[in-house]
Structure 1
């Protein structure tokens, strides 16, 4: 089963990435974008196709949100926005559940996904390889919602400061995660700590799994996104007093929201209007830490700090980078499935 899973994921990735071999016609500048895209205005995201025959105007729009925590929770959280998006565009809108960052990037690249929310780190892959155009983040009337990388330990841990995690086992989330992996590798050396050298890195898969792993004692510490930690506290999944925060980073933008670059310009206008005019209902505000709207951003300006972190850690938003991400995702999925099978076998033997 694990080998089949890996083969399927890698084959899917190879097919999708190979589709980019055909270069965009008459393109004088594409920067770091994949060959199938063009960036004549040099705003770092894919331009709309110049040939109207390449504009897509699907009867059903597919929407998803980054695979963090429990996907079912966020399917429900965005239900009101989906209805509004349907009203504004005049099209049916369905939710497509993804279980890995690589799968989400491949979905936007292949055309199966039209509108999406991508985690902060994987946004770069979606832009460069998927033709994704970020336009908003969750926010307020005067600013976007930011988050910090925080390092958490159990309240009863002997770890009091960053220097104390030397020689310990620390949970990172996934290879492409900004706060869960890239930012720690870029920022911790300033604290005299180098991941993989000064402590053992174990990938948990997701922020909530890192948090619960610290609580259960599986990990000594974990760098996680502060907004995920806060949401888990608000939802009653954890108690804030059970943890201690030993490090807080500068502020980063949260997950981006945007659309596929080749959607029909008239449809894009409606999508942009839906994002700019929608106001979060009370339940959605509670889920997303009080934010009440989508705040406008640009990838060129607002993701600069994230791109700098990626460059500092040697992360490349390229086909090779996505292939490595897919391999890691497949390995994690296989490990999770193995644990499930072992648990099922143990239950049957009782």
Structure 2
């Protein structure tokens, strides 16, 4: 009997066939056992030490799909962003010669799992989840939104309702504070790392309530469902521009130095020629005069980045919080 012979219902495989199958599985699971990988999952290698997954050395493992799937970070209304991203989707299609489809994701975990499984080829990951995408899904960050002069980033801002008695970080003690999600940088990781040196320990000095998104945190502050919330400046600025809340209803309590914003990534195993076209599409896209440019006010272009350098501060924050890049910790 060979492994290809069909077994009848209820028939067990022969010992040689079973042994062969187990051997094939063992070889597959240990395919990268000998390589350097740092914090990367065992699916990937990092022989050059740049902290991202190397492209497969076996050309037969390169992926060159007819249709590219692109996803932006989880947002309150994915349908709106599907339309906003359409000018870029068309540009990406023109440059790569591929059909490109926008994939609306519901959570950071779902987005990372989609790339890990090969169902997602290009993605914008939020700041905090980016290291999870790099280490668990083989994501390779290569661009983020910025100005023609190379300026980029956002700040962590803490907002409260204008009528509240919160005027500084120490006033958060004893309150109900909205964090966004466990993996979020400005919505959870950065406050946990930065607030203690200002005299407040999140989760001990105040109650943490996870809202699910920056949008929901901000709207909850406006509705007085939460006493305050740490949020990403770029998100609340876009919300205000769309008239989703009245800026006079809230008060800024504190603001951090700047962090890198959403990273744009390709899957590590895409064909190198396709990767070059994807990079070209991002770097040549002009925001001016597009819906995307109107949505991301002040953004003029995608600028080149590398994960090892530009995400150092984020990795430091996560390390101080004891974050481990596992699938169980991805939320």
Q: Distance in 1 between matches of 2:286 and 2:34?
A: 39
Shift of 1:78: 1.0
Work out the CA distance in 2 between the residues paired with 1:273 and 1:27: 34
**What is the CA deviation profile of residues 150-209 of structure 1, one whole-angstrom value per residue up to 9, with x for unaligned ones?**
100011111111111110100000011000000000000011000111001000000010
Change (3 A) 1:219 1:39: same
Q: 1:95 aligns with which of 91, 102, 119?
A: 102
The CA deviation string for residues 240-289 of structure 1, in whole angstroms up to 9 with x for no partner, is: 22111111011101100010000001101100111111111432222012
Partner of residue 294, structure 2: 286
Which of the pair is proportionally richer in helix?
1
The aligned counterpart of 1:307 is: 315
Task: Indicate which of 158, 165, 187 corresponds to 1:151.
Answer: 158
Residue 325 of structure 2 is aligned to residue 317 of structure 1: yes
In 2, distance between residues paired with 1:45 and 1:117?
16
The 5 Å alignment of 1:58-97 reads: 58-97=65-104
Q: Confirm whether residue 270 of structure 1 aligns to residue 277 of structure 2.
A: yes
Partner-residue secondary structure (3-state), 1:112: coil
Offset of residue 136 of structure 1 = 0.5
More divergent stretch after superposition (213-222 vs 69-78) = 69-78
- Matching of residues 168-317 of structure 1 within 5 Å: 168-282=175-289, 283-317=291-325
**Structure 1 residue 27: Cα displacement:** 4.5
Do 1:24 and 1:37's aligned partners in 2 also have CA atoms closer than 8 Å? no
* Partner of residue 9, structure 2: none
State how many pairs are aligned: 306
CA 1:70 to 1:78, structure 2 compared with 1: closer, same or farther past 3 Å? same
Gapped regions of structure 1 (runs ≥ 5): 1-17, 326-350
Q: Which residue of 1 aligns with 2:126?
A: 119
CA contact (8 A) 2:33 2:42 kept: no
Matched residues in 2 for 1:145 and 1:156: separation? 33
C-alpha distance in structure 2 between counterparts of 1:25 and 1:168, whole Å: 48
RMSD after superposition:
1.7
The CA distance in 2 between the partners of 1:293 and 1:23, in whole Å, is: 41
Q: Are residues 1:135 and 2:142 paired?
A: yes
Shift of 1:145: 2.3
* Greater CA drift, 106-115 or 157-166: 157-166
- Contact 2:32–2:42, Cα closer than 8 Å, also in 1: no
1:29 equivalent to 2:36? Answer yes
Contact 2:190 2:317 survives alignment (8 Å): yes
Q: Which runs of 5+ in 2 are unaligned?
A: 1-24
Which aligned pairs between 1:100-111 and structure 2 lie closer than 5 A?
Answer: 100-111=107-118
Asked if residue 57 in structure 1 is aligned to residue 64 in structure 2, the reply is yes
Q: Matches of 1:243 and 1:66 in 2, distance apart?
A: 25
SS in 1 for 2:91: helix
SS at match of 2:329: helix
Aligned residue for 2:253, secondary structure, equals: strand
TM-score normalised according to structure 2 size? 0.89
Separation in structure 2 between the aligned mates of residue 185 and residue 51 of structure 1, nearest angstrom: 42
Indicate the SS of the match to 2:64. Answer: coil
Cα pair 1:137 1:144 within 8 Å, conserved: no
CA distance in 2, matches of 1:24, 1:274: 33
| Equivalent pair of 1:63/1:94 in contact (CA under 8 Å) | yes
Alignment of 1:2-13 (within 5 A): none
Asked if 1 retains the 8 angstrom alpha-carbon contact of 2:155 and 2:257, the reply is yes
| 8 A Cα contact 1:144 1:253, kept in partner | no
State the secondary structure of the residue aligned to 1:319.
Answer: coil
